[in-house]
Amino acid sequence: MTDELRKGLEGVLVAESDLSQIDGDEGRLIYRGYAIEDLARHASYEEVIHLLWHGELPDADRLDAFTDSMVAERSIDEDVLETVGQLAAADENPMAALRTAVSMLSAYDPDAGEPATDREATFRKGRRITAKIPTILAAFTRMRDGDDPVEPREDLGHAANFLYMLNGEEPDDVLAETFDMALVLHADHGFNASTFSAITTASTLSDLHSSVTSAIGTLKGPLHGGANQDVMEMLKEVDESDRDPVGWAENALAEGRRVSGFGHRVYNVKDPRAKILGERSQELGEAAGTPKWYEYSTKIEQFMADEKGLAPNVDFYSASTYYQMGIPIDIYTPIFAMSRAAGWIAHAAEYVEDNRLIRPRARYTGPEDLTYSDLDER
């Protein structure tokens, strides 16, 4: 057993996985052997969930059956909806509201008592969680704004149905396709912090709802899931300032501020997901006649490459993409969770197949050889 200290477990191998692979030097991401570029441009989110959970892309009949099984689980219990409404009325943080509601789902899941080692039951629970998160998030957002929640539709895909429940209007094909692509891009990404939280919880043989709740709590942290919201706030600040994007970035760095959306613990080059979302951000801006968000982004990207040698991560272009779709800025991270649920569930199920309790050590650096003294002598 080594005593080498690796802060943050950086570079430490703790398990093997068939789910996703990242090449940080080449800027490559694959899900079960498929390049993310191919999946994002050609596969639906439902196909990708099936790939992650069942190891293969489905044929047409299996995809129909899988999609129908997801659609059947979209509605949430009235008690859950009431709680979501109470959280909305209290102006709760959207990620905290999602965390609470997902935890509550276990009370109404018929498989809640099944052991973590029951793979089929795990995926039945996973199907319900994944199908209900969009309903929870859309209802929370609408109720917070004083609007009634919108019931899910059975004739829309996962991505289009969320946008429908969020806005009360069926999205056009471009918006639905763009959002579906974003969900595919965020579905899995190796042993990131939230995925590792899900796996750690699963390793105790706790229930799947606890694993997903743990992951949501981890993703809530600004060092993990909040950068896309920060990026859009930054771009809006640029727009409202009297500086061009490069001048704004120069001033921000001079003031010791962080330019959001750059750098990654794994990628040493541009995140491949950022490339794809950048293209979509540009297309949306041109179609709407508002190319400024993409233009601001590209200028800041070039400046950060020249000044700091940093490349953008997935959050940098997802921000302007979501904004141009009319999605509220503070639900960007919950949308991340909505997509990543597929990966969390896949990893939790995979890990317990060859389970070992995750139990790292810490190096003690405190005092030694102290002698206890009675209370009246201290």
Residue 372 lies in a domain: no
Cβ within 8 Å of residue 69, ≥6 positions away:
127
pTM above 0.85, yes or no: yes
List the Cα angle 258/260/262 in 5-degree steps: 105
Domain count, the chain: 2
Of 309, 325, 341, the last residue of a domain is 325
Asked whether residue 188 falls in the same domain as residue 66, the answer is: yes
The tens place of each residue's pLDDT in the chain, 378 residues long, gives: 567 878 878 778 889 999 999 999 999 999 999 999 999 999 999 999 999 999 999 999 999 999 999 999 999 999 999 999 999 999 999 999 999 999 999 999 999 999 999 999 999 999 999 999 999 999 999 999 999 999 999 999 999 999 999 999 999 999 999 999 999 999 999 999 999 999 999 999 999 999 999 999 999 998 888 788 999 999 999 999 989 999 999 999 999 998 999 988 888 899 999 999 999 999 999 999 999 999 999 999 999 999 999 999 998 999 999 999 999 999 999 999 999 999 999 999 999 999 999 999 899 999 999 999 999 999
Measure the CA–CA gap between 335 and 185, rounded to whole angstroms: 12
CATH number at residue 100: 1.10.580.10
Measure the CA–CA gap between 352 and 264, rounded to whole angstroms: 28
Of 224, 239, 257, the last residue of a domain is 224
Of 224, 249, 269, the last residue of a domain is 224
Asked whether residue 160 falls in the same domain as residue 237, the answer is: no
Domain that holds residue 300: 226-325
Residue 280 lies in a domain: yes
Q: What tens digit of pLDDT does each residue of 110-130 get?
A: 999 999 999 999 999 999 999
Asked whether residue 192 falls in the same domain as residue 305, the answer is: no
Asked whether residue 189 falls in the same domain as residue 313, the answer is: no
| 3-class secondary-structure state, position 123 | helix
Which residues are catalytic, by number? 264, 315
Token pair in block for residue 76? 């949430």
Q: Where are the alpha helices (DSSP H) in 3-44?
A: 36-42
Residue 237 lies in a domain: yes
Asked whether residue 97 falls in the same domain as residue 246, the answer is: no
Residue 300 lies in a domain: yes
Residue 358 lies in a domain: no
**DSSP per-residue string spanning 61-101:** HHHHHHHHHHHTT----HHHHHHHHHHHHTT--HHHHHHHH
Asked whether residue 193 falls in the same domain as residue 59, the answer is: yes
Asked whether residue 260 falls in the same domain as residue 204, the answer is: no
Asked whether residue 126 falls in the same domain as residue 217, the answer is: yes
Cα–chain-centroid distance for residue 265?
Answer: 16
Asked whether residue 162 falls in the same domain as residue 272, the answer is: no
CATH number at residue 279: 1.10.230.10
Asked whether residue 243 falls in the same domain as residue 181, the answer is: no
Asked whether residue 93 falls in the same domain as residue 200, the answer is: yes
Residue 20 lies in a domain: no
Residue 38 lies in a domain: no
Residues comprising the chain, all counted: 378
Phi-psi region of 168 (alpha: psi -120 to 50; beta: other; left: phi over 0): left
Q: Where are the alpha helices (DSSP H) in the chain?
A: 36-42, 45-54, 60-71, 78-89, 94-105, 119-144, 158-167, 173-186, 193-203, 208-219, 227-240, 245-254, 272-288, 292-308, 314-324, 332-353
Residue 353 lies in a domain: no
Asked whether residue 200 falls in the same domain as residue 259, the answer is: no
